[in-house]
Amino acid sequence: MAETFAPGEPIVVRHVWRGNTFMVWSALAVRDDDELLALWLPPGAPCLRPQVRSVLPYEQQLVERPWRAPGVLQLWPTGAAHAIWLFATSWYVNLQEPFRRTAGGVDTADQLLDLVRTKDGGWRWKDEDELAAAVLQGYLSEDESREIRAEAERVIAADSFPTGWEDWEPDPSWPAPSLPMR
């Protein structure tokens, strides 16, 4: 396995699609081993995001917009094309490319479609319109769209909720994450 990140170590997460970086944030490593990369994104963490929320953010200029409360614990299973974000009232499943390690962080690419799993067991699809628009506009192929949906269906079938991380709290001595100077 490549170099791992120690608990509390700041790392940079970049969303890169076809060579274009379209989102960047700084997080703190919580756990990093052969099975899982767990990240803490605290309120106020530096983020570079598209200037305008749109269906296809890939070609927009990035602006600094810090992460707003609440903070979020993200669970990135090694090799999986999704991450689970833990919130007080639900779990958010972000469909994304499996992460790739870089010097000081990881790269992935958001795949537009998301799932929400409520604490009472319900599932809700999110951003299906964004996935359809990406296919219509040629950003994704029909095959890529089907594979993204297949990953979502695998997550629903596994239904591994609760995750066991619901009571996790960040170490108050950890530093605030930062992005490297551009």
Residue 85's pLDDT is: 97
Tokens, residue 65:
């917009």
Bond into 162 cis (ω within 30):
yes
Tokens, residue 147:
């594979």
Question: What are the tens digits of pLDDT across the range 53-93?
Answer: 654 555 568 888 899 989 999 999 999 999 999 998 899 99
Whether the Cβ atoms of residue 3 and residue 101 lie closer than 8 Å to each other: yes
| CA–CA dist 3, 33 (Å, integer) | 10
The reported pTM is 0.91
- Beta strands 10-17; 105-108: pairing state: parallel
Helix (H, G, I), strand (E, B) or coil at 129: helix
Residue 38's pLDDT is: 98
- Which one-letter DSSP state was computed for residue 40? E
Tokens, residue 152:
């979502």
Note the Cα 32 to chain centre separation in Å. 15
| CA–CA dist 175, 61 (Å, integer) | 28
Tokens, residue 16:
């890169």
Q: Which domains does the chain have, with CATH numbers?
A: 10-158 (2.40.380.10)
Ordered alpha helix ranges (H), the chain: 128-136, 142-158
| CA–CA dist 12, 96 (Å, integer) | 16
Tokens, residue 80:
């999986």
Question: What are the tens digits of pLDDT across the range 111-123?
Answer: 999 999 999 999 9
Tokens, residue 163:
């995750």
**For 91-105, b where at least 16 C-beta lie within 10 A, e where not — what string?**
bbbbbbbbbebeeeb
Share of the chain above pLDDT 90, in %: 75
